[in-house]
Amino acid sequence: MSNITLRAFSYIDRLQPQCAAHIAATCQGDVPIEGMAEIFIEMSPGNEIFRVADVALKSAEVRPALQIIEREFGLLELHAQDQAEILAAGSAVLAELEMREGDRMKPTIASTQLITNVHAYQAQLLNKFRKGALLIPGQSLFVLEVAPAAYAGLAANEAEKASTIDIVEIRAVGRFGRVFLAGSESEVATARDAAVNALTTLVASE
């Protein structure tokens, strides 16, 4: 197992409404709904995700929304109504890999941007690619860039728990993940702090 890297192992206890809706709108698998528990697993080599998915699905009553293999990494999302089922699936995966949860990579925040009073042209450009809420001119915008990418889901969910914001976009695939959040300046600042705190306090290897 020495050639395998557990890039991300991200447990979410309760999916928030917008995060659940965003995954459901963009996934190719089973759709999650608000209140479900969820786990994101990112690995390299990417092909290891096939084995991990097999172990997880055979060990507990969980369903996959995403199984993505790209150039460098593999990503798997699993969800269930019962938190115990997700935890059981995660434990089975770790046992198969002969790893502990703390062996995952520690998130690195590559960049954060807080833009107040977003210009109308900027808003319209961002709305061209968003899969979530429309960005309205005059709102504040927070953009977070994190590696490994799978931690973007955790950051967005914790931000939504903490504040009344709009989720414009979540990108959790690739070398870097990105989260775009919008709302009033104070609410976006609160969401920013919650997202950053979720990532910086995660127990993981360096």
Confidence (pLDDT) at 2:
63
Instruction: Tell me the domain boundaries of the chain.
Output: 5-103, 108-200
Token reading at 99: 């790893």
Confidence (pLDDT) at 56:
98
Please give the Cα distance from 21 to 77 (Å, whole number).
14
Q: Which residue has the tokens 């092909």?
A: 47
Confidence (pLDDT) at 1:
53
Please give the Cα distance from 78 to 56 (Å, whole number).
8
Confidence (pLDDT) at 204:
86
Tell me whether the CATH fold assigned to 5-103 matches the one assigned to 108-200: yes
* Beta bridge pairs of residue 166: 182
Query: Given strand 140-147, what is the order of strands in its sheet?
Result: 108-115, 140-147, 177-183, 166-171
* Assigned CATH for 5-103: 3.30.70.1710
Please give the Cα distance from 170 to 173 (Å, whole number).
9
Please give the Cα distance from 50 to 188 (Å, whole number).
37
Confidence (pLDDT) at 29:
95
Confidence (pLDDT) at 5:
95
Confidence (pLDDT) at 147:
97
**Gap between the terminal Cα atoms of the chain:** 18
HSE-CB of 59 using CA atoms within 13 angstroms:
20
Alpha helices in the chain (DSSP H): 17-26, 48-59, 83-97, 120-127, 151-162, 185-200
CB neighbourhood size of 200 (10 A): 11
Instruction: pLDDT tens for the chain, 206 residues: list them.
Output: 568 999 999 999 999 999 999 999 999 999 999 999 999 999 999 999 999 999 999 999 999 999 999 888 999 999 999 999 999 999 999 999 999 999 999 999 999 999 999 999 999 999 999 999 999 999 999 999 999 999 999 999 999 999 999 999 999 999 999 999 999 999 999 999 999 999 999 988 76
Confidence (pLDDT) at 172:
94
Cβ proximity of 90 and 39 under 8 Å? yes
* Assigned CATH for 108-200: 3.30.70.1710
